[in-house]
Structure 1
Amino acid sequence: MLSFSNNNCTLICKIQVSHCSHSWKQSSFTKLTNLNLLKPQIFRLVCAVGDLGQMQKVEDERPQIRWAEINLDEINDAQRNHISRLPKNMTNRCRALMKQLICFSPEKTNLSILLAAWVRSMKPVRADWLVVLKEMGNMNHPLRFEVAEFALLEESFEPNIRDYTKIIHGYAKQSRLQDAENTLQAMRNEGLECDQVILTSLIHMYSKSGKFNLAKDTFEKMKLLSLPLDNRAYGSMVMAYIRAGMLKEGEILLREMESQQVYAKSEVYKAMLRAYSMSGDSVGSQRIFDAIQIAGIIPDDKICTLLINAYVTSGQNREACVAFENMRRAGIRPNDKCVALMLDVYEKEKKLKEVLDFLMDLESDGIMIGKEASEKLARWFRELGVVEEVELVLRDYGSIEV
């Protein structure tokens, strides 16, 4: 496993203190004279300040940084191996930084100092930043967002709205709400407005994190701005309704999508069906099951099992049997959960003979019962006191403890 930290790494930067000037806009944070060395931290602070004020040029002391190559004899085998697998066409300046990032040790130096040293020594252009960020993304480097935040404050990076979008989307995928909102504020401070891609990512993030009101407000903002609503924006909002337990409202939104010939992904329909099924709402489950087919999604064993579960939970045993037979006729093999649900039906109605016929029918189609169904059978027969009579039959369907 690759380690991105190594206490044995040599110090990658040598520092000499001298007076120099750096251009920042005036804020209440300028008293902290060393903050301009910690760009990702300043990035977050500037986001937090928002419109409280403007920063002006100030003079301060900052270290003069000189680049020093890493000592390959002091890194571990995993790091050495990962360095050897860097792309062959990577430029020397990018390769030099990637080596340092692969072997980075927070105990030895500060990330911002390292990046500042690279900028001063290597004079990177936007293409270099993009190569580094792409490689860090490929290896899922834990510092990739911090490097991206630093880059946003560098003139050589020439940031645009898509750079902010990628960071916001990355934070959203990890449910890092505050970091995503800080980046969003920094983007606004640069005079850039949210577009469809960013707002869709925010809806998905708020929905996934259970922040229903924020998801709804962002969704409504997209509508007010007349931005296109695709299946991801709609789907994320439907999921927000499901997580909030507002199934009817979520279903209304599904209907709105369908009226515009925009269909949610199968995962959204399955989540809605599961929510109705677990609550024992067979009518709602049947509606969503029908909507799934209208959307062009072919029902599988899991979807059918959710529908059958809704009927069994609501005590509609006959409808459950009909749904099971329809599934069989459609050529869908029932999974173990589905078979276990049908055993529940037979047990409630005390149909011992019928359940044995049911098992024989499954066997004729090459369907063997699994763990959950086997355990239900064993418990049921134990309660009936007929374990010995059916033990041989049960052995035909798998190894069970009776």
Structure 2
Amino acid sequence: MLSFSNPNCAPICKTQSLHRSRSFNPSPFPKPTNSNNLKPQIFRLICAVGELGQMQEVEDARPKFKWVEINLDEMNEAQRNHISRLPKKLTNRCRALMKQLICFTPEKVSMSVLLSAWVRSMKPARADWLVVLKELDNMNHPLRFEVAEFALLEESFEPNIRDYSKIIHGYAKQSRLQDAENALQAMKHRGFECDQVTLTALIHMYSKAGNFNLAKDTFEEMKLLGLPLDNRAYGSMVMAYIRAGMLKEGETLLREMESQQVYAKSEVYKAMLRAYSMSGDSLGAQRTFDAIQIAGIIPDVKICAVLINAYVTAGQSQEACVVFENMRKAGILPNDKCVGLMLDVYQKDNKLKEVMDFLMGLERDGIMIGKEASEKLARWFKELGVVEEVERVLRDYSSMELLQIGDSF
């Protein structure tokens, strides 16, 4: 893994706070602070940052900085590689901060001190912040959220609701529930109302975390606000029902979607089908399988295998065989899972002759059984004590096949 830290490249601060109108909390969600503890300080920042450079010690009520050229020899190889990949069109002020962030080490200075120094020295506009945040996101940089949090409180960033929704969505993707909720509260505190994008991200986050009640409350809030519900919002709520084991309710919501010509992604239908299959609810599995086709999703061998499993688990051998045959008629080649499930059907009914015909039919069609099916077959034959008999039948069958091939010439 590439490292982003180098003690020779990061700012060093002798003090823990700066005298400003607000606390330098790295989070955009302010915590109570004692303003009496914030006094003018003497501090030194040493930083190598390209065109801006090294800060010198100045004693004053408000610190002043002077930047000098960076010494590339003080960087490690990973840092040099990251800096070399920065876009050529990057402005000097943005490049300077990117170099700082690439070389940042939290043991030497807080992120708020670094960013505050950049703001005072470079007077960035919103466009500069956006460029920096985009580069950090492209690099998947571990500091991207911290920089975004700081930016949300800066006047020069001119934050709007989409900036908040982006960071909420980013936290949601990483399942950082508390951070996402803090960002939501900060957004409301700034006077921004929740919109479709923000609430959809929250539903997805709560659903993924298995917090059904919060997902449902947020979903209902979207309805009350009259916000449009797209397949992502619906799909996330359906997944919340599935994870909560409320399959009928989830299926009802799928039908509500379909009535509005809104269809969930294939992953949602597959999750519903799998849940019904694992519980042995063949009727629910068949309804979901039918819904999959109505949604315009072409069933593949994996979907068929899940449906077969539903009938096998429910003890409905004949229906499982019908699904298998329909799959073959549709031109879908069975995988090892499908073959193994059919072996379960034959074994349960103790149909040795039928399974031999089944296996020979597969071989005629050039379908070779895999590891899972082979192991099941071996265990079954061993239990029956008919291994030698089966081998003899297979040899005779192979001889007949060779004789037929010879006669064809």
TM bin, normalised by shorter chain, reads 0.7 to 0.9
The offset of 1:299, in angstroms, is 0.5
1:341 aligns to 2:328 (yes or no): no
**Could you say what secondary structure the match of 1:61 adopts?**
coil
Q: How many pairs are equivalent?
A: 374
1:385 aligned residue? 385
* 2:11 partner amino acid: I
Counterparts of 1:216 and 1:44 in 2: how far apart (Å)? 26
Counterparts of 2:18 and 2:169 in 1: how far apart (Å)? 39
* 1:285 partner amino acid: A
* 1:115 partner amino acid: L
Distance verdict in 2 for CA 1:377–1:65, change over 3 Å: farther
Does the 8 A contact of 2:215 with 2:237 survive in 1?
yes
2:24 aligned residue? 37
- Residues 285-330 of structure 1: per-residue CA shift (max 9 Å, x gap): 0000001111111011111111100000000000000000001111
The offset of 1:109, in angstroms, is 2.0
1:61 aligns to 2:39 (yes or no): yes
**Pairwise mapping of residues 7-26 of structure 1 onto structure 2 (< 5 A)?**
8-13=7-12, 20=19, 22-24=20-22
* 1:253 partner amino acid: L
Does the 8 A contact of 2:3 with 2:79 survive in 1?
yes
CA RMSD, aligned part only? 2.5
Distance verdict in 2 for CA 1:58–1:123, change over 3 Å: farther
Which runs of 5 or more structure 2 residues have no equivalent in the other structure? 42-62, 398-409
Counterparts of 1:17 and 1:212 in 2: how far apart (Å)? 42
Give the TM-score, by structure 1 length.
0.87
2:162 aligned residue? 162
Does the 8 A contact of 1:15 with 1:65 survive in 2?
no
* 1:193 partner amino acid: E
1:232 aligned residue? 232
Distance verdict in 2 for CA 1:174–1:365, change over 3 Å: same
* 1:38 partner amino acid: N
- Residues 327-357 of structure 1: per-residue CA shift (max 9 Å, x gap): 1111111121111100100111112222122
Does the 8 A contact of 1:13 with 1:114 survive in 2?
no
1:32 aligned residue? none
**Pairwise mapping of residues 203-222 of structure 1 onto structure 2 (< 5 A)?**
203-222=203-222
Does the 8 A contact of 2:8 with 2:74 survive in 1?
yes
The offset of 1:152, in angstroms, is 0.5
Does the 8 A contact of 2:18 with 2:24 survive in 1?
no
The offset of 1:23, in angstroms, is 3.0
2:279 aligned residue? 279
Distance verdict in 2 for CA 1:62–1:362, change over 3 Å: farther
2:290 aligned residue? 290
* 1:226 partner amino acid: G
2:351 aligned residue? 351
Does the 8 A contact of 2:4 with 2:78 survive in 1?
no
**Could you say what secondary structure the match of 2:29 adopts?**
helix
Which runs of 5 or more structure 1 residues have no equivalent in the other structure? 25-35, 50-54, 397-402
Distance verdict in 2 for CA 1:290–1:57, change over 3 Å: same
Distance verdict in 2 for CA 1:355–1:62, change over 3 Å: farther
The offset of 1:79, in angstroms, is 1.6
The offset of 1:124, in angstroms, is 1.1
Counterparts of 2:17 and 2:34 in 1: how far apart (Å)? 21
The offset of 1:389, in angstroms, is 4.1
Does the 8 A contact of 2:337 with 2:372 survive in 1?
yes
Query: Larger relative CO (CA 8 A, sep 6+): 1 or 2?
Result: 1
Identical counterparts, % of pairs: 76
Q: Which has the larger radius of gyration?
A: 2
Counterparts of 2:66 and 2:281 in 1: how far apart (Å)? 66
| Greater Cα offset, 101-110 or 249-258 | 101-110
Counterparts of 1:329 and 1:273 in 2: how far apart (Å)? 22
1:330 aligned residue? 330
2:407 aligned residue? none
Counterparts of 1:180 and 1:333 in 2: how far apart (Å)? 45
Counterparts of 1:158 and 1:286 in 2: how far apart (Å)? 53
* 1:9 partner amino acid: N
* 2:351 partner amino acid: K
Counterparts of 1:10 and 1:150 in 2: how far apart (Å)? 21
**Could you say what secondary structure the match of 1:44 adopts?**
coil
Give the TM-score, by structure 2 length.
0.86
Distance verdict in 2 for CA 1:347–1:94, change over 3 Å: same
The offset of 1:39, in angstroms, is 3.5
Q: Which has the higher strand share?
A: 1
Distance verdict in 2 for CA 1:125–1:107, change over 3 Å: same
- Residues 49-91 of structure 1: per-residue CA shift (max 9 Å, x gap): 8xxxxx9998942553636555321222122111111111111
* 1:364 partner amino acid: R
Distance verdict in 2 for CA 1:104–1:59, change over 3 Å: closer
